[in-house]
Structure 1
Amino acid sequence: MIDDPDLAALFAAANASRLKAYAPYSGFSVGAAVRDDAGAVHHGCNVENAAYPVGTCAEAGAISAMVAAGGRRLSAVLVTGGGDGLCTPCGACRQRIREFGDAETPVIIAGPEGVRRRFTLGDLLPESFGPENLADARGV
């Protein structure tokens, strides 16, 4: 059960996307939802490809939807998958999240029943490289 309305909106969007995932090869459907700094929720699902592993992660889809809608900063991420284990973002998606978030960005991991665990991006990607590293190197 999720009592926080903001978290409930993320969970509902991620779970609805998960049910639409295209995962004929792995059979592992994933949904993700992100909230931007204006409070809008954007979501995506994994989309596999016969030329495995050329597919797209759910987090990448949600972030792309956010960017297409004009969002540029993440305030929260929720990822949901099936099975008993935690469905945490892969390494590439952790870096994607880092592009639009920071060490304090909440990354919430859920299953069909609800929230399983909460992390910050800093927990999942410590000492990360981000856009400000490039700005610092250019003297901007």
Structure 2
Amino acid sequence: MKRILLSVGLAVWLSGCAHHDDVRPSSDGMHTIMLFADSRDAGSKEALRQAKHYCKQTEQVAYVVNLDIIYNSDTPESTYVTQNGLANAVDAMGIAMWIFGKNSVDDAGAALTLSGGIADGALGKPYDVRLNFKCR
């Protein structure tokens, strides 16, 4: 049963991976990506990944013109970073318990996994990422 749930979850996760859905092409060659992220690092990596993929379609290379990442939330950024780290830790611990635990341990792991996911979802994605790039 665990393998089935894990396989279904993995399939859903992989099907949600878009290649460059956030690219806004322009006629003057200065393309823009705007997206929301749950961390500065994840946001910049995702934007760069999409820019590279977009340019690769025409056998070109993406050149970053500028990258702006703005934290946009009422919660102080340091508090958000701490809460997000805790939610991710609870989620990871729950997954490990769910997969490797037996009897009530795997039930507790499932509950932790759901709790971590809910907490992460409640925190949202407060980073506004804007990347301007050109393909050459």
TM-score by length of 2: 0.27
Higher relative contact order (CA 8 A, sep 6+): 2
